[in-house]
Amino acid sequence: MLRRLLPLLFCLFCALPVAAETVLRVGNGPDSESLDPHRAVGAGDSRILTSLFEGLLTPDAAGRMVPGAAERWTVSEDGLTYTFHLRADGRWSDGSAVTAADFVWSWRRAVDPATRPLFADFLYPVQNAEEIAAGRLPPDSLGVVALDDRTLQVRLKAPKPNFTDYLYHRATYPVHRASVEKYGDGFARAGNLVSNGAYMLVEQVPQSHVTVARNPHFHGTAGVAYDRVRFYATEDTQAELRRFRAGELDITETVPPSQIDWVRENLPAEFRLAPRAGINFIAPNLRREPWKSNRALRLALSLTIDREGIARRILRDGEPAFTFVPPGLPDYAPALPAQAAWTQDARDALARDLYAQAGYGPDRPLTLTLLYATKEANKQMAVAIAARWQSVLGVKTLLENQESKVVLGRMRDGSYPDLMLREWFWVFPEKYLEIMRSREQRNGNGYQNPDFDAAMAVADSAASRADFAQALQRAEGLLLSDAALMPVTFATSRHLVAPHVTGWIDNLRDSHPVRYLAPK
């Protein structure tokens, strides 16, 4: 009897529905450039890396820092020694244990000049990190030590109350030593990359997408809902919107400014508009004349920018920016310059006087090039700014747009001719000002001011939050007085999120780790 039933039972089992694989499709902006945590630059790569790696601390669904690879930590009374206790179930995607030695080796790599790291400064609070990055000390002198497999001790050069917040950054992620030593720069490619996060890298298609799959060895894999996530290159924001409307994307990287009114009316449930810690600004190339020595010219151009008009009529969101550091960040309140309270007509009048003082006018008009990364919002800002310079000062502006990775490269090596439209996003006030230090390799416009550097050094060693804020205010005041950059607007986050995606929480970081998202 049983033998006769077995074929029937087998057929019934085969007829049971197989759970469909869940796939999240994310618009991710410009094409991925690098998935090496210590070399990656763009926000899109950062989103992918957040799915692949886990630092000692990690952002939760609301962007708050919570235990990650470390389950707990203690801080010494003098604030100089942090002891992190790693979780026992921390694993790499190949199944091997994540150890304190992995973090020691990785952090040394992250500040080693041989790595050509771009964000070593996130480890500068650690003892000797800055000297190592400058080539003055060997990497093994970094103030980190593995007390045992699961205990990491970190020694700071000075107390840093928000040090654990810095561990949000990809520069502090661990990398798999054996893979790096075996594959060299190729360790971060599909088929080679071993990671310790919720997902692992399975596919890279240039100019198309990056696919990650759930990491079965991740300690929290039971709470990860999507089996796979595809991060699509969507530099064309209009095309991204069309793909979302066609059901080809579940989340967009942004919403084109020209479509915001339409989206508000037609996709109100999907539209997510929220404040974001960030700024759009113009950086003059201070390595070249006339920008290097002509403060009056820089200030004239800055005053002429109609920030309110760009924020309200062009971008249709955001706030006009008269400071470099956005408002609302912890431990800091930017001091507004006097012209923030003026009318635009008053700013224009002073700008004309300064333009003449700079040596320009109807008989000697200025011609300049403004470089920006290809994106609709950037183009609209650039066109509006150029029109103002022409109408108020008679300046002729040549607009040049390039792929984001090209613009980033020209920013890093300072090869752009005149002005560059840039954006910068962080939730720490000092991270805005630090990129303008003379030592900083991301200081693409070549700003050099010993007084500014000195004020930032005071902030580095400030004994209290009040002293810290006071030093930053002095540094920012010098920066704005020099017109070393031209603030335009503070940023917002604009996304479309499909109704069947749950777990999305708006936050200042605009951080939305895919491990917390789930299908409805």
Residue range 3-22, pLDDT digits in tens: 555 555 455 445 445 468 99
- CB-CB contact of 193 with 35 (8 Å): yes
> Does residue 411 sit in the same domain as residue 509?
no
- CB-CB contact of 273 with 493 (8 Å): yes
Please give the pLDDT value at position 12. Answer: 47
> Does residue 167 sit in the same domain as residue 92?
yes
Range of the domain at 467: 277-493
Within a domain: 235: no
Structure token pair of residue 256: 């084109």
Best CA proximity match to 93, nearest among 194, 229, 214? 194
Please give the pLDDT value at position 330. Answer: 84
> Does residue 440 sit in the same domain as residue 515?
no
> Does residue 469 sit in the same domain as residue 321?
yes
Please give the pLDDT value at position 9. Answer: 47
Please give the pLDDT value at position 7. Answer: 54
Structure token pair of residue 459: 């902030």
Please give the pLDDT value at position 441. Answer: 62
> Does residue 82 sit in the same domain as residue 201?
yes
> Does residue 501 sit in the same domain as residue 463?
no
> Does residue 306 sit in the same domain as residue 407?
yes
CA-to-CA distance for 40 and 33, rounded, in angstroms?
Answer: 7
Q: Tell me how many degrees the CA angle 57-62-68 measures, rounded to the nearest 5.
A: 15
Tell the residue number behind the tokens 């890396």, with chain if given.
49
Within a domain: 411: yes
Contact residues for 182 (Cβ-Cβ < 8 A; gap 6+)? 192
Spans of the chain, pLDDT less than 50: 1-2, 9, 12-13, 15-16, 18
Please give the pLDDT value at position 41. Answer: 85
The residues facing 391 across adjacent strands are: none
Please give the pLDDT value at position 2. Answer: 44
> Does residue 354 sit in the same domain as residue 477?
yes
> Does residue 128 sit in the same domain as residue 95?
yes
Within a domain: 269: no
Residue range 368-394, pLDDT digits in tens: 999 999 999 999 999 999 999 999 999
> Does residue 318 sit in the same domain as residue 194?
no
Strands (E), 101-198: 144-148, 151-155
Please give the pLDDT value at position 444. Answer: 67
Number of folded domains that form the chain: 2
- Chain centre to alpha carbon of residue 436: 16
Torsion angle, CA of 412/233/514/331, rounded to 10 degrees? 30
Could you tell me the CATH number of the domain that includes residue 470? 3.10.105.10
> Does residue 108 sit in the same domain as residue 195?
yes
> Does residue 58 sit in the same domain as residue 136?
yes
- Torsions phi, psi for 465 (to 5 deg): -65, -35
CA-to-CA distance for 7 and 419, rounded, in angstroms?
Answer: 75
Within a domain: 246: no
Within a domain: 234: no
Tell the residue number behind the tokens 């069947």, with chain if given.
500
Within a domain: 200: yes
> Given the DSSP bridges, would you call strands 486-496 and 271-284 parallel, antiparallel or unpaired?
antiparallel
Within a domain: 191: yes
- CB-CB contact of 31 with 233 (8 Å): yes
Within a domain: 256: no
